[in-house]
A and B are shown apart, each in its own frame.
Chain A
């Protein structure tokens, strides 16, 4: 049994300690906002926050996160995340949408760390999040827009 703080709520996970967080979320807790893309921490579709830091749920093992605060797209509600989500709609970022949970988790963590990111900051923070629809030009604009929203 592993206890984590999931989206602010103490949650007990009765799964094998070697199960990746991704599958515990999706299959044990029926929380499917965190997506399966590659399983090898290369695409970023499964990005969550662990103690506030973006992490790939597919390579995070339940046995390693006892007591950790885990935030998923279902629970993320920081001002940065809200600004990102608003900018995402305003600039019509998603196409298929499958990668966007991970994009939003990475982008909101970036803004928390760097409230006014440069293009280089964005490249560095977001390069691990693949979008096969190539919505990147809008992701970049929307991160800048979210920074403006937060500043206002």
Chain B
């Protein structure tokens, strides 16, 4: 997600305060440390002794621990381990001495090289770090080697490092034993990196450092689990409709609840601050609030669907066109016209949103799963009215995100800051306050994948080639109204609504696309794979229809139109070649899609149950993501990514009635369960290309692959989701 922000955030958001970043110490370290076998977690603020080797991305302590400072939020995708792998490979550390730790907020040092600010998204963690983290490991190794050479009086060229042991001239030492001396060495200006055949961990099946602790309760990892002396818990009563505000509050009953300490107000709603979560929730239930709905969004999804549908008949804002789509369609042998609709979706990450803040009137410290630290940092400073250097952010491991923790308005940070400021203004006490969203808050407070409708008219000629493609997209633009609009919305077309369609690499010489982005008062946000979550469905089900109209096998038909995208054609061939026979009684569908510079083909084998619902039995995938840094983690992300997509395809839908969200908790919005999960077979295409992301690209193809399989089973073309609408789930 927000891949289209590359190199744009810096000038837009950061520039006014950039000077203040320079005051931050690159060596400052906050947050938790994980890994290293014996002591998986420790508070690093109290560690890192003076004699340690401390560089921005690597710390080596005399106790022989190597800590990799991870600039990207790990929300489950495994990027912390991936970055550690890159350092360890060049450093020739032993994996048993390796730990990972989230970096402090400091965009000068820890910026995403593709965004210009510190932030995680768009499946960019490995892509932007691949050179940087290997260079950090190589520089550390060079300094270790130089220190050893001086200590032993031998030439640096005679020294070898292997699995954490430094050897030369008959001597040997651990990295830790040389850490202090290495710290005195100048940082080399240039380093040479290993050739791929010299890699010891990259491309190998290594175990993730964060998994042992995640089988033992993940104690200390997540923001919601943070334990601090004197801390209070806050929950907010939010308005029932988007855009409503507090008209009046009677908090007498709430204040009488045992454990409730204070009742405050922020623009987000009425906040109950209590000794613990249970008291806070009970206090919230006891609040009596009336709302001013003058500016509230009162429309429900039925009204919005009718309005969107009407817009499908109206010309919209045009993206750059190619050729003569209308002319070709007029002369095509067969023309297919189809309308599609996709609902609002909730992210539903298992750890509800939360943030803890300590504020003493001058300085503030945050603990949460910050996904765009630089944005969160700026918003926190602005809300609290303090300078950037007086804010620190401890990035915690996150219990999922799928896009939810990265918000252009940094609303969670802003709300947490407003709560702690209101608390401090009311009491004068500096105490940590943990703002927690209940599941109901998390599900019903917006920031949904926006509802979209599409209309496509496409033709095939007598040679079985596509002859004209007209495409209209209607939906709220995620970027419209955000600081990023200037960079991501062109001629009225929000790229986040059309990516995967407007930039398709199928040979479509006669192609026209336009959009409407209606103004709706429902907050919307990227959701794992963003626009591709609906564009891939439209493109790949329509390709299936066109193949049938042309009388050509769906794989061959696609390959006929992929003459300019060898890698997309490559994964399609790989999946088609590697897939085994379909299980008896199943029906097969295929889809292929590129997103985030990664190419994925998926073949779904689907069974119709006796009750008419579908069971996706098995999925065969091929992925080309360049160099495979950790093949097992790539397989894990493909398995999980398509499972996440399948969940939405089967049952997920957020609806609103008269402006109120109808779904409040998982029972109303039931995600994928283990009995829904197919077996998954992943084939990674060998590649020497630069590595690209794997967190999102497996999500888009599953929907169209399943829909194409359903067509084989039932003769019914699926053009709206979820499948519950059709009695299929």
Contact = CB atoms under 8 A, between A and B. Distances in A.
A97 B278 contact: no
Interface string A132-152: 111111111000000000000
Does more than half of chain A's interface fall in helix, strand or loop, or is it mixed?
loop
Nearest to B667: A42
B258 A16 contact: yes
B349 interface: yes
B665 A134 contact: no
Contacts of A33: 216-219
Nearest to B664: A40
A145 to B, nearest CB: 13
B217 A32 contact: yes
Residue from A32, A126, A127, A139 whose CB has the most chain B CB atoms within 10 Å: A32
Given A19-B278, A97-B214, A132-B644, A127 B639 contact: no
A1 interface: no
B233 A132 contact: no
Interface string B322-346: 0000000000000000000000000
Contacts of B212: 89
A139 B674 CA distance: 8
Residue from A35, A122, A134 whose CB has the most chain B CB atoms within 10 Å: A134
Contacts of B215: 84-85, 88-89, 93-94, 100, 104
A4 interface: no
A132 B219 contact: no
Contact of B277 (A36, A88, A129, A136): A36
Interface string B55-82: 0000000000000000000011110000
Contacts of B506: none
B95 interface: no
B667 A135 contact: no
Interface residues of B, number: 64
Contacts of B632: 92
Contact of A42 (B214, B666, B676): B666
Nearest to A74: B217
Contacts of A126: 674
A99 B350 contact: yes
A101 B217 CA distance: 5
A37 B354 CA distance: 12
B211 A92 contact: yes
Nearest to A40: B665
Contacts of B673: 127, 130, 136
A140 B678 CA distance: 11
A103 to B, nearest CB: 9
B77 A27 contact: no
A36 B352 contact: yes
Nearest to A104: B215
Contacts of B158: none
A109 interface: no
Contacts of A88: 211, 215
Interface string A65-101: 0000000111000000000110011001111111111
Interface stretch (B17-25, B137-145, B309-317, B394-402): B394-402
A40 B679 CA distance: 29
B276 A98 contact: no
Interface in B630-675: 632-633, 636-637, 639-644, 646-647, 665-667, 671-675
A131 B348 CA distance: 10
B457 interface: no
Given A37-B439, A89-B211, A96-B400, A132 B350 contact: yes
Contacts of B165: none
Interface in A33-57: 33-40, 42-43, 45
Contacts of B399: 35, 96-99
B218 A38 contact: no
Residue from A34, A97, A135 whose CB has the most chain B CB atoms within 10 Å: A97
B602 interface: no
A138 B350 contact: no
B133 to A, nearest CB: 21
A140 to B, nearest CB: 7
A123 interface: yes
Contacts of A85: 215-216
B276 A23 contact: yes
A40 B667 contact: yes
Interface residues of A, number: 54
A135 B351 contact: no
B653 to A, nearest CB: 16
A101 B277 CA distance: 20
Contacts of A27: 233, 275-278
A119 to B, nearest CB: 9
Contacts of A45: 350
Nearest to A88: B215
Contacts of B636: 92, 95, 135, 138
Nearest to A136: B677
A100 to B, nearest CB: 5
A123 B352 CA distance: 26
A28 interface: yes
B211 A133 contact: no
Given A27-B233, A130-B671, A135-B640, A98 B351 contact: yes
B224 interface: yes
Residue from B212, B633, B640, B642 whose CB has the most chain A CB atoms within 10 Å: B640
Contact of B674 (A72, A97, A104, A127): A127
A40 B211 contact: no
Contacts of A39: 438-439, 665
Contacts of B198: none
A43 B439 CA distance: 11
Contacts of B277: 23, 26-27, 36
A28 B400 CA distance: 26
Contacts of B677: 134, 136-137, 140
A84 B215 CA distance: 9
A98 B210 CA distance: 12
B276 A28 contact: yes
Nearest to B222: A98
B411 interface: no
A20 B282 CA distance: 12
B208 interface: yes
19 contacts: A26-B225, A27-B233, A32-B217, A35-B350, A38-B665, A39-B438, A72-B217, A88-B211, A89-B212, A93-B211, A96-B349, A97-B211, A98-B218, A98-B222, A100-B218, A127-B674, A132-B671, A135-B636, A137-B678
Given A97-B397, A132-B400, A133-B76, 13 more contacts: A20-B278, A23-B278, A33-B217, A40-B665, A45-B350, A73-B216, A73-B217, A92-B636, A96-B350, A98-B349, A130-B671, A135-B636, A136-B674
Interface of B: 75-78, 207-208, 210-219, 221-222, 224-225, 227, 233, 258, 275-278, 348-352, 397-400, 402, 438-439, 632-633, 636-637, 639-644, 646-647, 665-667, 671-680
- A-B pairs with lowest CB-CB distance, top 9: A134-B643, A33-B217, A96-B76, A98-B399, A97-B214, A27-B276, A95-B76, A32-B225, A136-B677
